[in-house]
């Protein structure tokens, strides 16, 4: 038996993803976002989160999935990794579950169009349900953003 | 004792003492005969030694101890200060500072100080030059005499105690002076001491103990203590009983008669005993004394040294507060400010009299509060200035120049955030003044000036700004040389150079990659100095200018904002988006008709106050999604400046002026072009703050 970890489950398209609960600061409904010019396309801007200015990333855009219009179910998941605090726009966030670290397998090269390096692994939840665990420090890796910006420029 | 709890206090106080040492040594250097300054220096060194010994920083204590020995000789006029001693002491100070810095950085404060210790010892042993040998001799012998006489010399009986003892002797009772030494490796000194006291109390009456019983119980003593007591028991018995207690190194019981007691009482005043006292003071007593001080968390003047000459420093009623708490207070206050703006908006919508009045009252209270919160974070520039006298002294010495640094307005206060940043630029400016500004002694005499160059360092308030000026009476900026270098280094072309005004030529020295020094020196002249200064100061929202007269000197003037956390800004609209432009860089606002725009080399310019300035399209810089000034016949413009350069920035609409709280965009979004930060508006939305410096090329 491995350790039990609590995981926030959210959805992007048809896939379910997970982020460890201790990395998540809060989950918010969408609020008006102030655009920040000259940034990568997936950086939607900043919001006022109770007095703190927090950058917002569209996770679909970050993973090169097609971006969609936000819906009633869209949420912002604010995560903190090290000194970086960022909000992710996701299609919905509706569950907290316990998973066994032993049930997390290494991810295949590409899952649903997302490169493996962004993923920590895939957890089997039973009943054929799979949960894709994100590797947050890779998702928030800024070096890559700099490269992206250079390509775009 | 948990040392960590005291570490920050130790660091704070060590820095204070080091600073005091530095200042006083400099003062002493200018008036070497002033012995009261030596007293001050001695006292700081003394406390520092005690504190570091208590905290277990052995090297720190050892070095301070050696410095103290030298100072002690000076204090007792056994040694005349000369430049060798000053230099050695300053070197010692530098080493101490380095060690304290190491401790601040989480290190152990260990350093190899043997070289400095050795030269200090040479000074105390008085053989570093024959001239000083004679006066220093008695001091050396005083040191040698210390172990025997030291113990008794420190025991100061007050009048009451001595009369009690005298009377007891008179009535035929045995009065003993007992000196007990605990073993070095003893773990529970206080317990052993308690056992001794317990024994003594059972055998007689204790009149006086040194250190006091309380201090001994709290283990605030070195390894030995002395007791005066009256007892019917024989001295030898007493000695045996004390020695029987385990871990007691030695016990010396002396039977006192009236004569020997009288001698002990008079000892402190007697000139023959003087040097012994002093030697004792510098070795054994300080540790005890300083330990109790560190524990009491106060830097009260040490009794022996302080009582002699220097008056106690005026007690200022202050408390030390953790910077983080102030930052939290500031953050909370900014929240309040945002709510205030929101309330003001609501009340103007609702238009109910009593609501409006309440909100207005709250606005007044909160602006008072804002003043106080901002003031809390204000620190006198002295905390930056105080290291300069020493720096100038060392620089002048190494360059063989004579320089006086005159500081005024050191009490001027600036926000801590600014203070933290302003040190390095000022160091650059001062080094520049010493190296390039002030001439050598020969050059000065040849130019008919006094030998000693003067650098004025001034700070003063003016409006919402603080000005810091560095002015020297040196050779001034050599305009032809500046122009030649500027052209050579490609800073300006020759044609441009011909058109420059004097002020513009002076400003060239701030250009990147510019240096007029003929040869590269250690002090400045690598060509990285002044442009770094300027970019640093501009990044603080300030400005630096230079004014120079050939042959008469140069003045650098640094203008700084009072605070970096709340600024006045102009809010503007670009279509649906709102932005803030810092008021400090706005010259004017106005309206621009399309036909006023001139086209020069494909750049759009306008005529403004008799000069031609560029027009900047903010909507293009920021990729505005829903605003384009090309569709309008008349555009609002904000004229902003960066140093001497101006530009007209086109915006959609003015919203108005407002106090805004600066917020960072966080660690994820850094170095965004033309954006210096964000603020939260009254309606809760985030507005980005424009960096006008990025708009002017």
Q: What is the ipTM of this complex?
A: 0.86
Q: Count of CB atoms within 10 A of residue A36's CB?
A: 21
What gap in Å lies between CA A71 and CA B587, rounded to an integer?
Answer: 45
State yes or no: pLDDT of B318 exceeds 80.
no
Distance CA B63, CA B556 (A): 40
Chain B positions touching A46 (Cβ under 8 A) are: 665, 669, 678, 686, 688
Mean pLDDT in residue range A107-124: 73
Task: Kindly state the tokens that stand for B49.
Answer: 């030694």
Q: Does B672 touch chain A (CB under 8 A)?
A: yes
User: Contacts of residue B672 in chain A, CB cutoff 8 Å?
Assistant: 36-39
Q: Work out the mean pLDDT of chain B and round it to a whole number.
A: 76
Cβ separation of A48 and B666 shorter than 8 Å?
no
| Greater model confidence, B75 or A32 | A32
Percent with pLDDT over 70 in chain B: 82
Q: Does A56 touch chain B (CB under 8 A)?
A: no
How far B283 CA lies from chain A's nearest CA (Å)?
A: 50
- For residue B684 the two structure tokens come to 């809760």
| Cross-chain Cβ contact A53/B687 below 8 Å | no
- Cα–Cα distance for residue pair B433/B458, rounded to 1 Å: 14
Whether residue B254 has pLDDT greater than 60 = yes
Averaged pLDDT for residues B322-333? 80
pLDDT band for position A64 (50/70/90)?
Answer: confident
B72 pLDDT band, cuts 50/70/90, is confident
**Token pair of B122 as six digits:** 């040479």
Answer whether B577 touches A (CB < 8 Å).
Answer: yes
Average pLDDT over residues B647-666: 86
Q: Is the pLDDT confidence value at A87 over 90?
A: yes
Beta carbons of A34 and B622 less than 8 Å apart: no
pLDDT higher than 80, residue B186: no
Residues 6 or more apart whose CB falls under 8 angstroms from that of B199 comprise B241, B242, B245
Size of interface A-B (CB pairs under 8 A): 72
**Residues on chain A touching B621 (C-beta within 8 angstroms):** 37
Contact B672 A53 (CB under 8 A): no
Query: B674 vs A36: CB contact, 8 Å cut-off?
Result: no
Interface residue A86 vs chain B (CB under 8 A):
yes
- Mean local confidence (pLDDT), B249-258: 78
- CA–CA dist B689, B659 (Å, integer): 12
Residues 380-409 of B with CB under 8 A from A: none
A84 touches chain B (CB under 8 A): yes
Q: How far is CA B462 from CA B3, B385, B546, in A?
A: 45, 19, 18
Domains defined along chain A, listed by start: 4-152 (2.40.50.180)
Average of per-residue pLDDT across B291-316: 43
Residue pLDDT, tens place only, B562-578: 766 778 889 999 988 99
Q: How far is A131 from chain B (nearest CA, A)?
A: 27
In this structure, the strands spanning A92-100 and A52-58 are unpaired
- Split at pLDDT 50, 70, 90, the class of A57 is very high
Decide: residue B446, CB within 10 A, 0-12 exposed, 13-18 middle, 19+ buried.
Answer: exposed
Per-residue pLDDT at B516: 53
Closest residue of A to B578, CA-based? A34
Contact A24, A8 (CB under 8 A): yes
Say which of B577, B623, B686 has its CB closest to residue A46.
B686
pLDDT at B266: 59
Residue B38 banded pLDDT, cuts 50, 70, 90: confident
* Residues in chain B within 8 Å Cβ distance of A35: 577, 625
Least confidently predicted of A52-61, A136-145, B562-571:
A136-145
| Min distance A124 CA to chain B CA atoms (Å) | 32
Mutation target among B627, B668, B689 for the A interface, most CBs of A within 10 A: B668
Q: Which residue among B668, B669, B685 sits closest to A32, beta carbon to beta carbon?
A: B685
- Buried b or exposed e, range B245-269, using 16+ CB within 10 angstroms: beebeebbbeebeeeebeebbebbe
Q: Which residues of B560-597 are buried (b: 16+ CB within 10 A; e: fewer)?
A: bbbbbbbbebbbbbbeebbbbbbebbbeebeebeeebe
pLDDT bin (cut points 50, 70, 90) of residue B133 is very low
Q: Are B441 and B434 in contact (CB under 8 A)?
A: no
- Does any CB of chain A come closer than 8 Å to the CB of residue B687? yes
B96-107 pLDDT, tens digit each: 888 888 887 777
| Cβ contact B686–A34 (<8 Å) | yes
Residue B468 pLDDT level (bands cut at 50, 70, 90): very high
pLDDT band at B268 (very low <50, low <70, confident <90, very high): very low
CA distance B139 to chain A (A): 59
Is 90 exceeded by the pLDDT of residue A88? yes
Residue A51 has pLDDT above 90, yes or no: no
Mean pLDDT score, B230-251: 78
Structure confidence by residue, pLDDT tens digits, B362-391 = 989 988 887 788 778 788 888 889 888 888
Give how far A19 is from chain B: nearest CA, Å.
19
What angle is formed at CA B255 by the lines to CA B251 and CA B257, rounded to 5 degrees? 150
Residue B680 Cα, gap to closest chain A Cα (Å): 7
Per-residue burial over B506-536, b = 16 or more CB atoms within 10 Å of its CB, e = otherwise: bbbbbbeebbbbeeeeebbbebebbbebbeb
Interchain contact, B669 vs A36, CB within 8 Å: yes
Is B672 close to A38, i.e. CB distance below 8 A? yes
Partners of B680 in the β-ladder = B686
Among the partner-chain residues A43, A48, A85, the one whose CB lies closest to the CB of B686 is A48
Give φ, ψ of B559 to 5 degrees.
-105, 130
Q: What is the pLDDT of residues B501-514, one digit of tens each?
A: 877 788 888 876 66
Which residues of A fall within a CB distance of 8 Å from B665? 36, 46, 53, 55
pTM of the entire predicted model: 0.50
**Residue B678 contacts A where some CB pair is shorter than 8 Å:** yes
Q: With 80 as the cut, is the pLDDT of residue A75 above it?
A: yes
**Is B668–A46 a contact, with Cβ atoms under 8 angstroms apart?**
no
Q: How far apart are CA A91 and CA A14, in angstroms?
A: 10
Give the least confident one: A101-105, A107-111, B125-129, B490-494: B125-129
Distance from CA of B663 to the nearest CA of A (A): 7
- Active site amino acids of B: 46, 68, 432
């Amino acid at each position: 038996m491995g350790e039990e970890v609590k995981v926030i489950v959210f959805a992007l398209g048809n896939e379910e993803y997970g982020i460890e609960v201790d990395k998540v600061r809060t989950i918010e409904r969408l609020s008006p976002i102030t655009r920040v010019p000259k940034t990568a396309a997936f950086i939607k801007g900043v919001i006022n989160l109770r007095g703190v200015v927090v950058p917002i990333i569209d996770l679909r855009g970050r993973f090169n999935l097609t971006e969609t219009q936000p819906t009633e179910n869209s949420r912002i998941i604010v995560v903190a990794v090290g000194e970086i605090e960022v909000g992710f726009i996701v299609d919905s966030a509706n569950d907290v579950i316990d998973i066994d670290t032993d049930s997390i397998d290494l991810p295949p090269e590409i899952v649903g169009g997302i490169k493996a390096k962004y993923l920590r692994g895939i957890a089997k939840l039973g009943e054929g349900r799979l949960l894709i665990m994100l590797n947050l420090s890779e998702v928030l890796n800024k070096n890559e953003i700099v490269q992206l910006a250079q390509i775009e420029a | 004792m948990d040392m960590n709890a005291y570490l920050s206090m130790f660091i704070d106080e060590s820095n204070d003492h080091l600073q005091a040492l530095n200042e006083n040594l400099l003062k002493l250097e200018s008036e070497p005969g002033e012995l009261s300054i030596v007293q001050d220096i001695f006292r700081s060194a003394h406390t520092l030694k005690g504190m570091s010994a208590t905290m277990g920083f052995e090297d720190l204590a050892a070095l301070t101890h050696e410095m103290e020995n030298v100072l002690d000789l000076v204090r007792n006029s056994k040694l005349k200060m000369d430049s060798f001693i000053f230099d050695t002491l300053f070197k010692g100070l530098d080493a101490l500072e380095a060690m304290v810095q190491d401790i601040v950085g989480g290190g152990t404060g260990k350093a190899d100080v043997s070289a400095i210790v050795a030269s200090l010892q040479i000074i105390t042993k008085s053989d570093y030059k024959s001239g000083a040998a004679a006066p220093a001799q008695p001091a050396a012998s005083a040191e040698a005499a210390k172990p025997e006489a030291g113990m008794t010399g420190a025991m100061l009986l007050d009048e009451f105690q001595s009369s009690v003892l005298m009377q007891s002797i008179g009535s035929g009772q045995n009065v003993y002076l007992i000196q007990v030494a605990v073993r070095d490796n003893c773990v529970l000194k206080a317990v052993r001491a308690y056992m001794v006291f317990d024994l003594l109390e059972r055998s007689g009456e204790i009149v006086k103990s040194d250190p006091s019983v309380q201090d001994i119980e709290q283990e605030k003593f070195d390894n030995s203590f002395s007791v005066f007591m009256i007892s019917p028991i024989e001295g030898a018995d007493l000695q045996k009983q004390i020695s029987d207690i385990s871990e007691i190194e030695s016990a010396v019981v002396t039977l006192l008669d009236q004569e020997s007691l009288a001698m002990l009482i008079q000892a402190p005043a007697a000139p023959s005993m003087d040097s012994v006292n002093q030697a004792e003071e510098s070795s054994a007593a300080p540790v005890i004394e300083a330990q109790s001080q560190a524990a009491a968390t106060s830097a009260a003047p040490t009794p022996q040294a302080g009582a002699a000459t220097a008056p106690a420093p005026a007690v200022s009623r202050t408390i030390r507060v953790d910077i983080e708490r102030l930052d939290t207070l500031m953050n909370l206050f900014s929240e309040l400010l945002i709510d205030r703006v929101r309330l003001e908006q609501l009340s103007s919508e609702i238009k109910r009299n009593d609501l409006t009045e309440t909100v207005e009252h709250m606005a007044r209270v909160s602006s008072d509060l804002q003043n106080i919160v901002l003031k809390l974070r204000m620190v006198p520039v002295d905390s930056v200035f105080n290291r300069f006298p020493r720096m100038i002294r060392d620089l002048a010495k190494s360059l063989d120049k004579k320089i006086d640094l005159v500081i005024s307005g050191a009490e001027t206060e600036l926000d801590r955030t600014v203070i933290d940043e302003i040190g390095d630029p000022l160091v650059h400016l001062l080094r520049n003044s010493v190296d390039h500004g002030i001439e050598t002694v020969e050059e000065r005499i040849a130019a008919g000036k006094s030998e000693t160059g003067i650098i004025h360092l001034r700070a003063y308030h003016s409006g919402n700004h603080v000005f810091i000026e560095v002015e020297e009476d040196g050779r001034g900026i050599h305009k032809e040389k500046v122009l030649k270098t500027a052209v050579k280094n490609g800073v300006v072309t020759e044609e441009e150079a011909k058109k420059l005004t004097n002020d513009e030529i002076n400003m060239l020295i701030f250009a990147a990659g510019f240096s007029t020094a003929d040869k590269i020196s250690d002090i400045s002249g690598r060509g990285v100095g002044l442009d770094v200064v300027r970019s640093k100061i501009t990044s603080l929202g300030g400005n630096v200018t230079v004014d120079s007269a050939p042959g008469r000197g140069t003045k650098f003037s640094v203008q700084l904002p009072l605070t970096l956390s709340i600024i006045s800004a102009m809010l503007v609209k670009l279509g649906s988006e709102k932005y803030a432009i810092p008021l400090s860089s706005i010259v004017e606002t106005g309206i621009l008709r399309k036909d006023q725009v001139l086209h020069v080399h494909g750049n759009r310019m306008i005529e403004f106050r008799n000069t031609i300035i560029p027009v900047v399209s903010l909507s293009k810089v920021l990729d505005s999604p829903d605003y384009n000034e090309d569709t309008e016949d008349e555009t609002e413009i904000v004229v902003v400046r960066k140093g001497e350069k101006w530009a007209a920035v086109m915006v959609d609409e003015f919203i108005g002026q407002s106090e805004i709280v600066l917020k960072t965009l966080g660690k994820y979004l850094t170095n965004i072009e033309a954006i210096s930060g964000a603020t939260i508006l009254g309606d809760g939305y985030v507005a980005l703050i424009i960096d006008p410096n990025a708009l002017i090329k």
